[in-house]
Amino acid sequence: MHFLIIGLILVIIIFGPQLWAKRTFAKYNGHRQDFPGTGGELAKHLINTYKLKSVNVEQTQQGDHYDPTSKTVRLSPSNYNGKSLTAIAVAAHEIGHAIQDAENNPMLSWRTRLVKTTQVAEQISALAFIGIPIITAITRAPSAGALLFFIAIGSMLLSALVHLVTLPVELDASFGKALPILKKGQYISDNDVNGANKILKAAALTYVAGSLASLLNLARWIALLKRR
């Protein structure tokens, strides 16, 4: 019974933020006739307003994000083409990252370097986990398998850590940049501020969900190896 309760708590902790974020985005994703433009049009307008001359906007199927390498704000089709509070708030959030980049925000620069390192680390961890039983069988040296195990664990922990350390960057993009922009520019009414606040909070917390999902993946690999 205790294990069931603990398991339920872990599921809530791991999947709760992600489910809440999706629910929040969906709640405010309805078409708004009173908005003068789409999320993509707002992003382009803000690029001109804040003189982010080297920044582009485009649609993507890979999730809303800002790519500092190519200086590109990428929005999902629903947010690029949609006239909803979610589309407007998410577009402003990603423009917030572009402004951070223009201001040479050190945290954003650090995150960009960490993400590149993490991408390599995730590949290393996957190969290491797969290689543990093979290398152990070939060398007949448990120490070789143990070394690969610690390499894999370290790589996956790094992935989880990156999601958490980027949270301050996300919070600044949401509440240091996007929300003030939306309020000051009167892109949203006073009645929409509370909804925009929830959307922007959800946009930041998706990284917490990503970190927890990484830890769950780590636990899954460890459980799999124990069965072997």
Catalytic residue among 41, 94, 122, 170: 94
- In whole angstroms, give the CA distance from residue 148 to residue 61: 35
Which pair of tokens denotes residue 175? 């509440």
- In whole angstroms, give the CA distance from residue 62 to residue 136: 38
Active site residue 58: no
- CA Rg, the chain, in Å? 21
Q: Which of 183, 207, 206 is nearest to 195 (CA)?
A: 183
Is-contact 45 37, C-beta < 8 A?
Answer: yes
- In whole angstroms, give the CA distance from residue 226 to residue 141: 17
- In whole angstroms, give the CA distance from residue 158 to residue 5: 29
Environment class of 165 (CB within 10 Å of its CB; exposed 0-12, middle 13-18, buried 19+): middle
Q: Per DSSP, what are the bridge partners of residue 65?
A: 74
For residue 112, give the amino acid letter: T
For residue 126, give the amino acid letter: A
**Active-site residue numbers?**
94
